[in-house]
């Protein structure tokens, strides 16, 4: 009878929910001038592992760059290495269905390929101010353009992922991620909570040839893709599926790059949720840090402009979680 009871208990105890590791420690986001150019791109140390990295996009610093190396010529199926790219934005009312994700993926052999989720890169005069095609400056790398789907009323674009399909549901007519954190979650600040995010992008891509790849990303409003927009987003980069996570040494290498962003200094500051855990931080403070809206005028050209501004910039200090 005791053995039977133990077996039943084993079956009904729910599995622990773990998220793939943050490329920056403690749920913090990057912003400002850090990781804003190809030369300063955030380096993913091993793209065979899954990572998430968060960004606060502002009108003055709209671009975010990451890079990683592909070392394998082909997978077992004879095609290029599998690379999953996904993007979500925290459920914040002022950004609801207002944000459009965009990216240019650069790498050896990449080109327009609908089967690989890549469209023609827009001409520079079609791209927002502050965003340009950098293929030539990157040594003539190939490039392809990616962006959010036309509608978010279905999660079909997410459900091709054998991992993320477990975290995508249509809620109130919108494709969302619902993610629970248990009482034993590693970050005590987030224990015993449930968070929601807007899905913006998900695709199972493939690299083509070995070499260094770059991903340049930015946000616009859904209504006007010719101007950048302020907002928050989280990119997942990794293989198409994963069952484990990076080693402690690889995680330490990733997080040693750090951040000195003045905003989004922990997970709840980034998400603007559970603010009572931050000493009842007023939501008005969060709105003042990052007002929503399209960057309708190039920053600094018109003092009377109603363009949203933000104090979310890098600050002159040693980056958080670096050896300094």
Tokens of 270: 């980034």
Tokens of 241: 């599926």
Give yes or no for a contact between 240 and 82, defined as CB atoms under 8 angstroms apart. yes
- In what order do the strands lie in the sheet containing 142-147? 42-43, 64-70, 211-221, 99-107, 142-147
Tokens of 255: 């997080």
Which residues sit opposite 229 in a β-bridge?
Answer: 294
pTM of the shown model = 0.89
Show the beta-strand stretches assigned E in the chain: 29-31, 42-43, 51-57, 64-70, 82-90, 99-107, 142-147, 169-171, 174-181, 193-206, 211-221, 229-238, 293-294
Give yes or no for a contact between 68 and 237, defined as CB atoms under 8 angstroms apart. yes
| The pLDDT of residue 16 | 44
| The pLDDT of residue 315 | 86
Give yes or no for a contact between 187 and 179, defined as CB atoms under 8 angstroms apart. no
| The pLDDT of residue 305 | 55
pLDDT, tens digit only, all 324 positions of the chain: 434 333 333 333 344 445 577 889 888 999 999 999 999 999 999 999 999 999 999 999 999 999 999 987 766 666 889 999 999 999 999 998 899 999 999 999 999 999 999 999 999 999 999 999 999 999 999 999 999 999 999 999 999 999 999 999 999 999 999 999 999 988 899 999 999 999 999 999 999 999 999 999 999 999 999 999 999 999 999 999 998 788 899 999 999 999 999 999 999 999 999 999 999 999 999 999 999 989 976 445 554 556 788 999 998 766 656 554
| The pLDDT of residue 78 | 65
Return d(Cα 316, Cα 199) in angstroms, integer: 33
| The pLDDT of residue 76 | 63
Tokens of 47: 């793209």
3-state secondary structure string across 8-27: HHHHHCCCCCCCCCECCHHH
How far, in Å, are 77, 121, 169, 206, 295 from residue 105 at the CA level? 23, 9, 27, 11, 23
């Amino acid at each position: 009878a005791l053995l039977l009871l133990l077996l039943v208990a084993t079956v009904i105890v729910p599995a622990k929910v773990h998220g793939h590791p943050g490329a920056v420690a403690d749920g913090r986001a990057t912003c400002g001038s850090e990781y804003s150019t190809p030369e300063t791109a955030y380096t993913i140390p091993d793209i065979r592992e899954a990572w998430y990295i968060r960004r606060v996009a502002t009108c003055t610093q709209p671009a975010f760059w990451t890079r990683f190396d592909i070392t394998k010529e082909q997978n077992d199926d004879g095609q290029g290495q599998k690379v999953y790219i996904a993007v979500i934005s925290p459920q914040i009312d002022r950004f609801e269905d207002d944000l459009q994700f965009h990216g240019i993926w650069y790498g050896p052999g990449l080109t327009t390929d609908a089967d690989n989720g890549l469209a023609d890169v827009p001409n520079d005069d079609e791209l927002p101010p502050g965003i340009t095609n950098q293929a030539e400056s990157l040594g003539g790398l190939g490039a392809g353009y990616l962006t959010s789907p036309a509608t978010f009323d279905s999660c079909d674009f997410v459900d091709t992922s054998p991992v993320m399909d477990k975290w995508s549901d249509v809620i109130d007519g919108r494709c969302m991620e619902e993610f629970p954190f248990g009482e034993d979650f590693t970050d005590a600040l987030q224990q015993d909570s449930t968070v929601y995010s807007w899905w913006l992008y998900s695709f199972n891509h493939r690299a083509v040839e070995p070499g260094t790849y770059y991903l340049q990303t930015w946000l616009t409003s859904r209504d006007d893709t010719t101007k950048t927009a302020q907002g928050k987003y989280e990119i997942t980069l990794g293989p198409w599926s994963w069952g484990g996570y990076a080693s402690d040494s690889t995680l330490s290498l990733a997080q040693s790059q750090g951040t000195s962003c003045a905003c989004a200094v922990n997970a709840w500051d980034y998400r603007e949720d559970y603010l009572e855990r931050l000493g009842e931080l007023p939501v008005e403070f969060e709105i003042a840090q990052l007002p929503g809206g399209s960057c309708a005028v190039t920053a600094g050209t018109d003092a009377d402009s109603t363009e949203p501004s933000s104090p979310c910039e890098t600050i002159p200090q040693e980056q958080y979680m670096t050896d300094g």
